[in-house]
């Protein structure tokens, strides 16, 4: 069972029993502070390249709609890397070819001057055979994609770009917590981030029911864990929280109905609902989230799941702004000496802030 957006969106396949299988083959180049700014990419033994950390050299291309891109946008904002790495945003819908810059004037990215993200991939790999996915880091001068390896981009932002981060930026991946962050994040990825897709794109009743039970086992585990701790690992926000948030904030508007993950809503789970509101109200999370674009993407693009392309009104998400009461639990958003990010840079504001429609 193939899906229409294999080329442009979440690259996917299905096993013989109808289980959704994500294509996880990405461009595995990395950004490193070991190389001097202005250096050429350095080849690695595995055939990939290391590129130098350098302010202004790269543009992060994301989409408000995409959960995998969202985690990189949150990380960039929390670390205050806006001046070092510019942000380009594709619109919420794409066709079989590519994500499109159809929200920008004239339908082209204002920095890269391309109408489709596909152009940056083909500029480097003229016969690129895989999905044109976000997030992607693109070298501005050459217009060539550098990497779309979404698992490593937030880690490199935190570690390799530290010298260009804002004063008072948090350490989102503390050395003493990395083993636990990795373990929690792995379960969140396999069972929740990817688990909702296994439900939504299941090709048989048996595959769907298996995916459904796996997902809710994990969500019940998170509900229990977060009933005793304000954040997933340690006492402060880490990458583990940044990885979970994009799925939770999309759950009631999209995954509950569109992906048939319908046992109950996040608003009906006290700990997860309070946790989601806590993060939403922290700068970097809610101010990077566009609920309307999220709905437009899933309901309009996934024509195999929603053939009419009708985008639902609701649910009313204004409850995200209500008090969460999580201050009573151990932990604070950030460690002592860490400050909140400043205002959203001009031009990066969420276009659809209304949560009631």
Spot the catalytic one: 26, 58, 66, 275: 66
Check the annotation: does 99 bind a ligand: yes
Encoded tokens for 293: 């674009």
Spot the catalytic one: 58, 121, 173, 197: 197
Q: Which residues contact 99 (CB under 8 A, 6 or more apart)?
A: 8, 9, 61, 63, 90, 91, 116, 117, 118, 132, 134
Which contiguous run of DSSP H or E holds residue 216? helix 205-226
Give dist(CA 115, CA 16) in Å, integer.
Answer: 37
Give dist(CA 198, CA 21) in Å, integer.
Answer: 8
The distance from CA 334 to its chain's CA centroid, rounded to whole angstroms, is 21
Report helix, strand or coil for 25: coil
Give dist(CA 4, CA 296) in Å, integer.
Answer: 16
Give dist(CA 216, CA 328) in Å, integer.
Answer: 26
Judge whether 66 counts as a catalytic residue.
Answer: yes
b (16+ CB within 10 A) / e for 211-241: bbebbbebbeebbebbeebbbbbbbbbbbbb
Judge whether 197 counts as a catalytic residue.
Answer: yes
Q: Which residues contact 307 (CB under 8 A, 6 or more apart)?
A: none
Would you say 18 and 204 are in contact if contact means Cβ atoms under 8 Å apart? yes
The annotation places the binding site for glutathione at 99
Residues recognised as catalytic: 66, 197
The annotation places the binding site at 99
């Amino acid at each position: 069972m193939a899906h229409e957006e294999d080329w442009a969106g979440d690259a996917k396949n299905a096993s013989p029993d109808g289980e959704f299988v994500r294509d996880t083959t990405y461009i595995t180049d990395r950004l490193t502070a070991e190389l001097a700014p202005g250096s050429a990419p350095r080849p690695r033994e595995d055939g990939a390249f290391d590129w130098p950390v350098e302010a202004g050299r790269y543009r992060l291309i994301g989409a408000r709609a995409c959960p995998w891109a969202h985690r990189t946008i949150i990380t960039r904002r929390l670390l205050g890397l806006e001046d070092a790495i510019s942000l380009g945003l594709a619109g919420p819908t794409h066709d079989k070819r590519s994500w499109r810059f159809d929200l920008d004037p004239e339908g082209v990215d204002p920095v890269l001057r391309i109408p489709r993200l596909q152009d940056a991939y083909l500029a480097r790999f003229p016969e690129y055979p895989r999905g044109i996915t976000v997030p992607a880091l693109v070298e501005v001068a050459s217009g060539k994609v550098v990497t779309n390896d979404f698992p490593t981009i937030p880690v490199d932002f935190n570690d390799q770009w530290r010298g260009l981060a804002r004063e008072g930026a948090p350490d989102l991946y503390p050395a003493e917590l990395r083993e636990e962050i990795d373990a929690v994040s792995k379960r969140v990825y396999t069972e929740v981030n990817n688990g909702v897709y296994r439900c939504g794109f299941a090709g048989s009743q048996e595959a769907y029911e298996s995916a459904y039970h796996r997902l809710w086992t994990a969500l019940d585990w998170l509900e229990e864990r977060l009933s005793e701790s304000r954040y997933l690992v340690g006492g402060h926000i880490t990458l583990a929280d940044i990885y979970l948030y994009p799925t939770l904030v999309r759950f009631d508007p999209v995954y509950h109905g569109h992906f048939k993950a319908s046992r109950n809503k996040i608003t009906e789970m006290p700990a997860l609902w309070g946790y989601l509101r806590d993060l939403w109200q922290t700068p970097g999370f809610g101010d990077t989230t566009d609920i309307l674009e999220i709905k437009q993407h899933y309901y309009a693009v996934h024509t195999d799941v929603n053939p009419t392309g009708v985008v639902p009104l609701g649910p009313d998400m204004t409850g995200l702004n209500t008090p969460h009461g999580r201050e009573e639990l151990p932990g604070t958003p950030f460690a002592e000496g860490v400050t909140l990010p400043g205002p959203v840079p001009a031009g990066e504001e969420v276009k659809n802030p209304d949560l009631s429609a």
